[in-house]
Amino acid sequence: MGDVLWTPPADVRERSRIGAYLRWLAEHRGLEFADYAALWEWSVTDLDGFWRSVWDHFGVVAHTEPTATLADPAMPGARWFPGATLNYAENVLRMPGLGDDDPVVIAHGQTRAPQTVTAAGLREQVRRVAAGLRRLGVGPGDRVAAYAPNIPETYVLLLATASLGAIFSSCAPEFGTRSVTDRWRQIEPKVLVAVDGYRYGDKPVDRRGEVAAIRAALPSLEHTVAVAYLDPDGPAPDGALPWAELAAPTDEPLTFAGVPFDHPLYVLYSSGTTGLPKPIVHGHGGILLEHLKMLALHHDLGPGDRFFWFTTTGWMMWNFLVSAPAVGAAIVLFDGNPGHPDLGGLWRLAAETGTTYFGTSAPFLLACRKAGLVPREVADLSALRGVGSTGAPLPAEGFTWVYETVGTDLQLQSLSGGTDVCTGFVGGVPLLPVHAGEITCRALGARVEARSADGTPVLGELGELVITAPMPSMPVGFWNDTDGSRYREAYFELYPGVWRHGDWITINERGGCVITGRSDATLNRGGVRLGTAEFYSVVEGLDEVVDSVVVHLEDDEGGAGELLLFVVLAAGLELDDALRKKICRELRTALSPRHVPDEIHQVRAVPRTLSAKKLEVPVKKILTGTPVDDAAAKGALANPESLTAFAAFAQRRPAPEAPARS
């Protein structure tokens, strides 16, 4: 690990947006920094100075100016930019550096022909849809839900909703009914916008049944808007308004509600290990400032760039991607199967669209490597100057593969963050070299540290990833968490006043970072975190299943790993292939294909604490070789004998194969 694969050009400060920012700091603030380390240290020490500089440098459009930058730095509950009113959509639609006729949304997929939307066209569509939402009675604070893929309509809906001060929430249409209703029952949307289906590769997927079930399960809905995506000539469902009517011509001007800095913009969901998915509320100002900083200063995006990230509308990377017009970059949207007709498809898409920054997941890059793909041989990637990888740690061989087969001059940025902050808090920056297997740096304004078991900061050692100073894009709260108890429990229970993220991280002497997986029981499948509670509600909803426990065993190479499900069956039943297929079918239908386990095994009991909590982490430890006595405190268990079955299972399993080295 640590081989230097890319070095910044000598004139990087003249050519990059972070270089322009450093010149601005010198001219307007009298601040000069010798290197990135010094800049980072200032950014996490002088929080007022740094975040106000981001506001001023990017010229945030405000309706009223703030009376301070950080009124209260205590976490949780830090108060940013009190007195300010602004609108996220207004700042995105400014699209600095883009002319009216410049493309800003380039959309490709497997369901319909490619579409290009210009800057003027995007503003016009948002103007019409905002007027349409207003006609439906949508105003500040109302929730608008999208069961829709990564297509222009979903983006227009987000911006139109935000322009009114209403609150947006999306679920990708591959989500099953249960996954969707578990999320949206919590926020009680007023309007649902839904597609009829989509194509995944060459396979049509009809979602009209799911849409009907979602509508029936949400009594708060006053209106449904139908997007005829799979069948453009198909009729709208009974009582639904066609998208064309929502977006009908109108004389109403495009206006933007001036809302407080922390006014809710959208609700994202992070699945915990117990209960319903957590509804994480993000605010207009925090998201805007964080994305301006990250997209321009770290990813070096601006006018002339075309920014792509392979994502669905169910992952926070979609929310990150679609902020890019705020820094003047066009966005490339893709909806479909990234492996169709082969793994070269997305690379050919990059060539066809002139993509300058190609973002994807570590498992996708590793799958391309495993398949022996050489992207530069299947596509002209000469426009590409950046590749982003997230969703899971990218090992050193993944870095090497990118430089050997994609391009030698581009900057590879492995980043990590999450739904909770809707950004990456460790990633890359144009000022620093790329080392194999290493995340280059901690992001500006993100005071990320590693903590040992006793809570002390450590360098060069594995520790709990914590954030010890507030960031503006930390959630403004959880929905319906009036006393803030769920929010505190999620991030601040272990270290009072310090954000604990739930990852293991090592930070080296030069500031580089290596993340080695989750430190809690949340599952991470192919770069997407999955909550165990969703599994259990489906699996244990079957008559045959009395209890269950699911664990994810990571792949050392950063691949999808193994998802193992253990079930306790009703008296007299034995697990057979028919029941295995039934369980898989239920999980796929109610949740998603990612939730289908690799193996299902029968056990006599699931280990539980005296307070009846399932013990996923001890089970995972036992399956990866930890002795039973070290994996769990037996005195705290209601049924300590249940652990022996997992120890026996671990002994029977074949040892994992050593990863192939190129």
Three-state secondary-structure class, residue 12 = helix
Provide the pLDDT for residue 207: 96
Q: Is the peptide bond before 9 cis (omega within 30 degrees of 0)?
A: no
Instruction: Give the span between the Cα atoms of 227 and 233, in whole angstroms.
Output: 11
Q: Is the entire prediction scored with pTM above 0.85?
A: no
Provide the pLDDT for residue 273: 37
Provide the CA 626 distance to its chain's centre, in angstroms.
Answer: 31
Per-residue DSSP letters for 409-465? SSEEEE-EEETTTTEEEEE--TTS-EETT-B-EEPTT--EEEE-TTS-EESSSEEEE
| pLDDT tens profile 527-537 | 565 656 567 76
Q: b/e map of 127-160 (b: 16 or more CB within 10 Å)?
A: bbbbbbbbebebeeebbbbbbbbbbbbbbbbbbb
In which order are the strands placed within the sheet that holds 562-569? 545-553, 562-569, 599-602
| Lookup: tokens for 507 | 């930070």
Instruction: Give the span between the Cα atoms of 354 and 383, in whole angstroms.
Output: 6
CA atoms within 13 A on the CB side of 277: 28
Average pLDDT of the residues in 321-340: 96
Three-state secondary-structure class, residue 25 = helix
Is residue 113 exposed (0-12), middle (13-18) or buried (19+ Cβ within 10 Å)? exposed
Instruction: Give the span between the Cα atoms of 492 and 484, in whole angstroms.
Output: 11
Provide the pLDDT for residue 378: 97
Instruction: Give the span between the Cα atoms of 531 and 175, in whole angstroms.
Output: 14
| Lookup: tokens for 623 | 């399956």
Provide the pLDDT for residue 659: 39
| pLDDT tens profile 363-380 | 789 889 878 999 999 999
Residue type, 643: L
Q: Label residue 660 by pLDDT band (50, 70, 90).
A: very low
**Which among 553, 497, 420, 542 has a CA at the least distance from the CA of 77?**
497
| pLDDT tens profile 569-596 | 988 999 999 999 999 999 988 888 888 9
Three-state secondary-structure class, residue 10 = coil
Instruction: Give the span between the Cα atoms of 298 and 411, in whole angstroms.
Output: 11
Residue type, 314: G
CA atoms within 13 A on the CB side of 249: 0
The DSSP secondary-structure symbol of 11 reads T
Average pLDDT of the residues in 301-308: 98
Q: Are 373 and 339 in contact (CB under 8 A)?
A: no
Provide the pLDDT for residue 662: 33
